[in-house]
Amino acid sequence: MSDRRIYVVLLGVPGAGKGTQAKLLEQSTGLPQISTGDIFRYNLKNQTELGKLAKSYMDRGDLVPDEVTIRMVQDRLQQPDCVRGAIMDGFPRNLVQATAFDTMTAPYGGVRVAPLIQVEDDETIRRITGRRSCRTCGAVYHVIYNPPKVEGICDVDGGELYQRDDDKEDTVRNRLFVYYKQTAPLIGYYYAKGLLREVDGAMSIEAVQQALLAIVVG
Ligand code: ADP
Ligand code: ADP
């Protein structure tokens, strides 16, 4: 195929480390991270129509409707920085989105690989409750595991670090429920296509990154 692109679908429970790893992969491969969560949060902050629509779903920890999400990803993939492919972080999130993504990417060779970052549930909770995000650039920290140089301030752009509203306990519980019900079936979906690769997400951020790089580039 002449126009073969590299589409990587990162899988893993909320808090597994997808965003952290996607940002590092972006730096080392030059493929852009496409985080649907980040795009929704950007729209929420700027009070766009999309943001207003997504708000109630995100507050509850439910998925934003597929039609809206799929259209948003389609638009994003047409941006010039996606000509070599993309690192998908948080999309697809259910089987409808996965089949839509296959259709979108079919002209470019489809999904290249789907790494699954595996982490135990109690570690996931520890990671989510300690997560802090930059208000301006979206960089992700952890109060214990990956603290910024100066407390409350982003190393990258000096932005304010905050705890996401949906990282509070009630919403986290629902997000995990939604993950097991709607997103976990994607593991079987990509396994059946021979694209699933399991990575031990309990390792350090650097060790997980090395394992992922070997999968994506190797
Ligand atoms: P996801 O995008 O899958 O929800 P994040 O990348 O936002 O996950 O990571 C969740 C939290 O866990 C963040 O606070 C991040 O700093 C921390 N974290 C990510 N990877 C690791 C790791 N390998 N070890 C320890 N903490 C991690
Ligand atoms: P996490 O990194 O902790 O898994 P995300 O940042 O990916 O969380 O997602 C936050 C919220 O944004 C989700 O709970 C959901 O409401 C919405 N969202 C993100 N991606 C999608 C998607 N692909 N489909 C529907 N809703 C999504």
Q: Does 2 have pLDDT greater than 60?
A: no
- Would the CB of 179 count as within 6 Å of ligand 2? no
- Would the CB of 40 count as within 6 Å of ligand 2? yes
Per-residue pLDDT, averaged over 164-192, amounts to: 94
Q: Does 218 have pLDDT greater than 90?
A: no
The pLDDT value given to residue 147? 97
Residue with tokens 């993504």: 101
Domain boundaries, the chain: 6-120+184-217
155: left (phi over 0), alpha (psi -120 to 50) or beta: alpha
Per-residue pLDDT, averaged over 26-34, amounts to: 97
User: Would you please indicate which residues are annotated as catalytic (active-site) residues?
Assistant: 18, 93, 131, 164, 175
* Residue nearest atom 13 in ligand 1 by C-alpha distance: 131
Residues in Cβ contact with 4 at an 8 Å cutoff, skipping those fewer than 6 apart: 108, 109
Pocket test for ligand 2, best of 41, 45, 72, 93 (most atoms within 8 A of CB): 93
Per-residue pLDDT tens for 56-78? 999 999 999 999 999 999 999 99
Nearest ligand by distance to the CA of 90: 2
- Would the CB of 73 count as within 6 Å of ligand 2? no
pLDDT over 90 percentage in the chain: 91
Q: Which CATH class is domain 6-120+184-217?
A: alpha beta
Dist CA 180 CA 184 (whole Å): 5
Per-residue pLDDT tens for 84-136? 999 999 999 999 999 999 999 999 999 999 999 999 988 999 999 999 999 98
Cα distances (Å, whole numbers) of residue 214 to 25, 51, 115, 148, 207: 11, 36, 11, 27, 11
Q: What single-letter DSSP state applies at residue 155? A: T
Token pair belonging to 74: 């389609």
Neighbours of 57 (CB within 10 A): 16
Dist CA 118 CA 11 (whole Å): 9
Atom of ligand 2 nearest to the CA of 35: 7
Per-residue pLDDT, averaged over 154-160, amounts to: 97
